[in-house]
């Protein structure tokens, strides 16, 4: 679009370019005249031998080809022209005797045929139809091109974001460890008692907050690594029940203070899992800490481990907590999203837990599925393929 003064002017469409190949020179010239009068740019050749590299610059949109040339088959000529201009369309010109040739040409990809003698209006009508197709295709190519550029840019930006997050997180971890280390020394009163006593409380708060920020930073770092494809799984043999017990120990304090009951149900004879142990721990901890966070006092939280009918290993984490609204269920699986209520109820959590867990499951060729009802509860199911089970 060009802007002239206050008017917005659309750029005129490029002239239509037609190549004419016919060994009857007079006929070819008269076609050229008709088309030039109608605003076309034309180029006339009288033999297949004229189809040479130098011609390529003409950039024909359409080629008008006589199928019955003295020295060669028009079909070969069409192929040669199409090789020069892959986006061009061919229209075949034929006499009564050679209609079959024309039909063969159409089978080979020619757009249409004109039977000689034809009227100028007939020629223009066929060309107009043909150009409708060409222009549609050209628009589509331009749109695709734009999309591809946008996609390239988005991918580049996304990579830059992941790298930035990874670097940032590293930088933040160093001072955080200083905060954690010294606040621990102070809260434990390593070098003698603190006065007044209040300072011990403060040091505890500093230490707890620091630990929380560290866990957030670690999540961001993990997410960035996964998104930029730098994360790999380190496989070993993992005993699921041991992981469940480990997570329960980690969450025992919080569960008890909210009077939440933690239960596990592990089917007999569950084989070990070939997986990244740290990730399995982290996934289960993410799900269980959500359950603890979003279940009101007195609630119940359960982990059920079973083998599905098809042999897959299924780990379900269920709670009878606040639940997640239907319309949020898809969204919260994306990185950095938290439920509406979660924001008002508690500000902790960057909204990465579920997204990370889902990505980690995918790295294990598994799936994460979420089912939830408001005020009834939530079940998150992790499914590992049976190929990951050790016999
Ligand atoms: N067991 C659950 N019960 C209710 N809501 C949940 C549960 N698990 C997750 N959610 C919702 O999904 C959101 C995203 O969870 P998550 O990705 O773990 O991030 P975060 O825990 O940092 O908020 C939570 O903020 C919450 O709204
Ligand atoms: Mg969470």
CA distance 117 to 123: 10
Answer yes or no: is the C-beta of 351 below 6 A from any ligand 1 atom.
Answer: yes
Q: 81 CA to middle of ligand 2, Å?
A: 62
Put simply, whether the predicted model's pTM sits higher than 0.85 gets the answer: no
Q: Is the pLDDT of residue 295 over 90?
A: yes
Ligand 1, residues 212, 223, 283, 290: which to mutate, most atoms within 8 A of Cβ? 290
Q: Which residue has the higher pLDDT, 339 or 36?
A: 36
Answer yes or no: is the C-beta of 359 below 6 A from any ligand 1 atom.
Answer: no
Q: Is the pLDDT of residue 16 over 60?
A: yes
CA distances to 32, 62, 191, 212, 374 from 40, rounded to whole Å, are 9, 11, 93, 71, 67
Express as a percent the part of the chain with pLDDT over 70. Answer: 93
- Residues less than 5 Å from ion ligand 2, measured at CB: 290, 349, 353
DSSP code string of 45-113: E-SGGG--GGGGGG--SEEEEESB-SSSBHHHHHHHHHHH-TT-EEEEEE-GGGHHHHHHHHHTT--EE
Q: Which residue has the higher pLDDT, 180 or 109?
A: 180
Q: Is the pLDDT of residue 1 over 60?
A: no
Q: 335 CA to middle of ligand 2, Å?
A: 11
pLDDT mean over 352-367: 96
pLDDT tens, 177-209?
Answer: 999 999 999 999 999 999 999 999 999 999 999
Judging by beta carbons within 10 Å of its beta carbon (0-12, 13-18, 19+), is residue 271 exposed, middle or buried? middle
Residue 52: what pLDDT? 84
CA distance 26 to 205: 96
pLDDT mean over 231-258: 95
pLDDT mean over 258-280: 96
pLDDT mean over 141-154: 94
Q: 133 CA to middle of ligand 1, Å?
A: 51
């Amino acid at each position: 679009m060009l802007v002239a003064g206050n008017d917005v002017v659309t750029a005129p469409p490029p002239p239509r370019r037609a190549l004419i190949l016919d060994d009857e020179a007079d006929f070819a010239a008269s076609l050229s005249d008709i088309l030039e009068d109608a605003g076309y740019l034309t180029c006339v050749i009288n033999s297949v031998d004229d189809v040479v590299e130098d011609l390529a610059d003409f950039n024909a949109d359409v080629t008008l080809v006589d199928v019955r040339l003295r020295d060669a088959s028009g079909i070969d000529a069409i192929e040669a022209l199409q090789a020069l201009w892959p986006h061009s369309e061919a229209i075949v010109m034929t006499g009564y005797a050679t209609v079959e040739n024309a039909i063969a040409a159409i089978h080979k990809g020619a757009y249409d045929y004109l039977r000689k003698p034809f009227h100028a209006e007939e020629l223009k009508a066929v060309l107009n139809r043909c150009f409708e197709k060409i222009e549609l295709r050209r628009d589509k190519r331009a749109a695709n091109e734009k999309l591809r550029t946008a996609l390239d840019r988005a991918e580049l930006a996304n990579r830059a974001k992941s790298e930035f997050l990874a670097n940032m997180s590293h930088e933040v971890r160093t001072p955080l460890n200083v905060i954690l280390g010294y606040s621990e020394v102070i809260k434990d009163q390593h070098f003698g008692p603190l006065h007044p006593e209040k300072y011990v409380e403060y040091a505890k708060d500093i230490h707890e907050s620091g630990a929380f920020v560290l866990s957030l930073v670690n999540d961001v770092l993990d997410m960035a690594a996964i998104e930029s494809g730098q994360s790999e799984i380190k496989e070993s043999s993992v005993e699921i029940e041991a992981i469940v017990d480990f997570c329960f120990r980690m969450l025992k304090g919080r569960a008890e203070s909210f009077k939440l009951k933690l239960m596990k149900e592990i089917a007999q004879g569950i084989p070990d899992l070939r997986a990244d142990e740290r990730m399995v721990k982290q996934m289960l901890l993410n799900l269980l800490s959500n359950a603890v966070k979003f279940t009101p006092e007195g609630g119940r939280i359960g982990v059920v481990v079973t083998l599905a009918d098809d042999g897959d290993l299924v780990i379900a984490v269920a709670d009878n907590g606040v639940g997640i609204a239907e319309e949020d269920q898809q969204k919260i699986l994306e990185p950095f999203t938290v439920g509406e209520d979660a924001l008002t109820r508690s500000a902790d959590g960057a909204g990465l837990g579920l997204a990370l867990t889902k990505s980690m499951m995918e790295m294990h060729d598994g799936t994460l599925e979420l089912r939830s009802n408001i005020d009834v509860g939530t079940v998150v199911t992790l499914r590992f393929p049976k190929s990951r089970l050790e016999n």
